[in-house]
Chain A
């Protein structure tokens, strides 16, 4: 292991010269963790996540992380993460599908407990019949927790979002967890080009005293909220305490936007902003959307893409602005419920223009051709299915 030198977060993320590597999404996540000065990592196996925490384990064995163990199950893992972060450590864990749902009671309480941490979510089917394949319906369960939810399109995003995630989560005016989601297998097990920062540079250590809610370490007085007297009672005082606390969580969530702008170049990416028809997508579906834009351009169709990187906070204003003149809005997704389509519909006045779909689920791939069918429909083009590309 090379001796690592601490550099300023902005320097590391925005300015250091990067090297191009051809690595899997799981490797990209582990490489980010390696550069994040993590104290404690807690693992529990589940396909397709396991790959990530194997690699993080190797990083611990090499000396980059100070403590690591395999937990009893996800509820135990996520609770121990909460313990470690309260104790002032910088922590990391990752999970997938059923593991996320098993840990969700703990995870959903992280924001309210003011636990700044990064959680990798490598999506897989959660509903029956059982399957290990990518399907991202689990992200919808995270949307109401209060945490920041980022959705990575590819290996590069996984690296960038994970590394920046630690910095964003620990900002004093944010101080809530960040979930870095991406599709299992499609990204975790596939290789892509990733520009990564030098191995010998790492983020500054966590300063747990730079916090709206202090750590529980007997070095400074603990937070009053941890003592439950008024909050546990059925009276107006307790309702009020809970209400203002959660209002503050959701305000913190909104405040994360300025750092998403700063470190991730904004919550959305727009390709062909003047288009008549837009594809709005997140995660892997954005990659498919990118290809659909290419297909469409080859056929002379004016199609644009809005890639949504941040699902929480949801970039309502930015999405509304880009889509203000859209004739049709196609929202391809890797789940049956269409959570992204709902988000988009809820924030634009012309919600009739939203075409929810195509949707694939159960782990199926999302062929570009399916998106193209919706594109042809939007332009009123009748096509036989024989598409030559």
Chain B
């Protein structure tokens, strides 16, 4: 398997760091490897946020921010259009043959940037993640899930069960175990649990939707198909 060095750029409130954790945990659930670099900056709504994930089926020793990514995920179009990013331009350090996944339904890359991306033999995938999140889950908070779905749809790094396990861990936590069925839980916990279950359900629907889109559009990586 190839090593993916992923840089996720978005804005505060989009769940950039949360989705980085889910991505890493899904790899871990699949018995593969991932390392995560938490971003140390001010955490403000709509301020630039970056997270870095390295994934592989081999142990990873490398530390620090991903300066030379081969995957860049842009969670908000303003990262490109308004320069809301710590790494400018948004493709800085991108390696040859890499990919860029952008949350948009129209092409927002300026002409001169396209030239460089083409020279680098970059694959660019535009996906209206926020729109899908709203349509499927009824909330734009699931934008990050839509982005994750399309990433896994393209790379096929892990199975659905691994993604679900990671999302479940994130929303239900390790401590929240509904053993013996919900009947044994009191109503307050049941209510809380029900809400969380709904959340989990909706998030998984979004992920499935964008995963499917990647397949329908023929974005799936050749390497992923041969595995």
- A interface list, Cβ under 8 A from B: 132-133, 153-154, 183, 185-187, 189-192, 284, 287-288, 290-291, 364-369, 386-389
Contact A291 B38, beta carbon cutoff 8 Å? no
Contact A288 B67, beta carbon cutoff 8 Å? no
Contacts of B3 in A (CB 8 A): 389
Known: A189-B38, A366-B64, A388-B97. 6 other contacts (CB 8 A): A288-B62, A291-B62, A386-B95, A387-B95, A389-B3, A389-B95
Task: Please report the C-alpha to C-alpha distance between residue A287 and residue B35 in the assembled complex, in whole angstroms.
Answer: 13
Contact B68 A369, beta carbon cutoff 8 Å? yes
Task: Please report the C-alpha to C-alpha distance between residue A310 and residue B1 in the assembled complex, in whole angstroms.
Answer: 35
Task: Please report the C-alpha to C-alpha distance between residue A239 and residue B3 in the assembled complex, in whole angstroms.
Answer: 60
Contacts of B67 in A (CB 8 A): 365, 367, 369
Instruction: Encode contact with A along B205-216: 1 for CB under 8 Å, 0 otherwise.
Output: 000000000000
Q: A189-B38, A190-B36, A190-B37 are in contact. Are A388 and B63 (CB under 8 A)?
A: no
Task: Please report the C-alpha to C-alpha distance between residue A189 and residue B3 in the assembled complex, in whole angstroms.
Answer: 23
Nearest neighbor of B60 in chain A, beta-carbon distance? A291
Most buried by B among A287, A366, A367: A367
Nearest neighbor of B58 in chain A, beta-carbon distance? A294
Contact B63 A187, beta carbon cutoff 8 Å? yes
The one of B60, B64, B70, B97 in contact with A186, judged by C-beta atoms closer than 8 angstroms, is B64
Contacts of A133 in B (CB 8 A): 40
Contact B68 A190, beta carbon cutoff 8 Å? no
- B interface list, Cβ under 8 A from A: 3, 5, 35-38, 40, 60-65, 67-68, 70, 95-97, 120
Contact A388 B61, beta carbon cutoff 8 Å? no
Contact B95 A388, beta carbon cutoff 8 Å? yes
The number of inter-chain residue pairs (CB within 8 angstroms) is 57
Contact A154 B64, beta carbon cutoff 8 Å? no
Contacts of B96 in A (CB 8 A): 386-388
Nearest neighbor of B94 in chain A, beta-carbon distance? A386
Contacts of B68 in A (CB 8 A): 367, 369, 387
Task: Please report the C-alpha to C-alpha distance between residue A235 and residue B145 in the assembled complex, in whole angstroms.
Answer: 76
Nearest neighbor of B119 in chain A, beta-carbon distance? A386
Contacts of B61 in A (CB 8 A): 153-154, 287-288, 290-291
Please give me the 10 A-B residue pairs with the lowest Cβ-Cβ distance, nearest first: A365-B64, A386-B96, A287-B61, A186-B63, A367-B67, A290-B61, A365-B65, A291-B62, A369-B68, A388-B96
CB of B135, distance to nearest CB on chain A (Å):
35
Task: Please report the C-alpha to C-alpha distance between residue A385 and residue B95 in the assembled complex, in whole angstroms.
Answer: 9
Contact A389 B70, beta carbon cutoff 8 Å? yes
Contacts of B35 in A (CB 8 A): 190-192
CB of B210, distance to nearest CB on chain A (Å):
27
The one of B5, B63, B70, B97 in contact with A288, judged by C-beta atoms closer than 8 angstroms, is B63
Contact A368 B62, beta carbon cutoff 8 Å? yes
Most buried by A among B38, B63, B95: B63
Task: Please report the C-alpha to C-alpha distance between residue A288 and residue B60 in the assembled complex, in whole angstroms.
Answer: 10
The one of A190, A386, A387, A389 in contact with B63, judged by C-beta atoms closer than 8 angstroms, is A190
CB of A341, distance to nearest CB on chain B (Å):
20
Task: Please report the C-alpha to C-alpha distance between residue A185 and residue B36 in the assembled complex, in whole angstroms.
Answer: 12
Nearest neighbor of A289 in chain B, beta-carbon distance? B61
Contacts of B65 in A (CB 8 A): 365
Contact B95 A185, beta carbon cutoff 8 Å? no
Task: Please report the C-alpha to C-alpha distance between residue A190 and residue B35 in the assembled complex, in whole angstroms.
Answer: 8
Task: Please report the C-alpha to C-alpha distance between residue A172 and residue B39 in the assembled complex, in whole angstroms.
Answer: 45
Contact B62 A287, beta carbon cutoff 8 Å? yes
Nearest neighbor of A292 in chain B, beta-carbon distance? B62
CB of A355, distance to nearest CB on chain B (Å):
20
CB of B21, distance to nearest CB on chain A (Å):
11
Contacts of B60 in A (CB 8 A): 291
Contacts of A186 in B (CB 8 A): 63-64
CB of A136, distance to nearest CB on chain B (Å):
13
Task: Please report the C-alpha to C-alpha distance between residue A389 and residue B5 in the assembled complex, in whole angstroms.
Answer: 10
Contact A191 B36, beta carbon cutoff 8 Å? yes
Nearest neighbor of B70 in chain A, beta-carbon distance? A389
Task: Please report the C-alpha to C-alpha distance between residue A133 and residue B63 in the assembled complex, in whole angstroms.
Answer: 13
CB of B64, distance to nearest CB on chain A (Å):
3
Task: Please report the C-alpha to C-alpha distance between residue A368 and residue B60 in the assembled complex, in whole angstroms.
Answer: 12
A-B contact pairs, 9 of them (CB 8 A): A132-B40, A288-B63, A288-B64, A290-B61, A365-B64, A366-B64, A367-B67, A367-B68, A387-B95
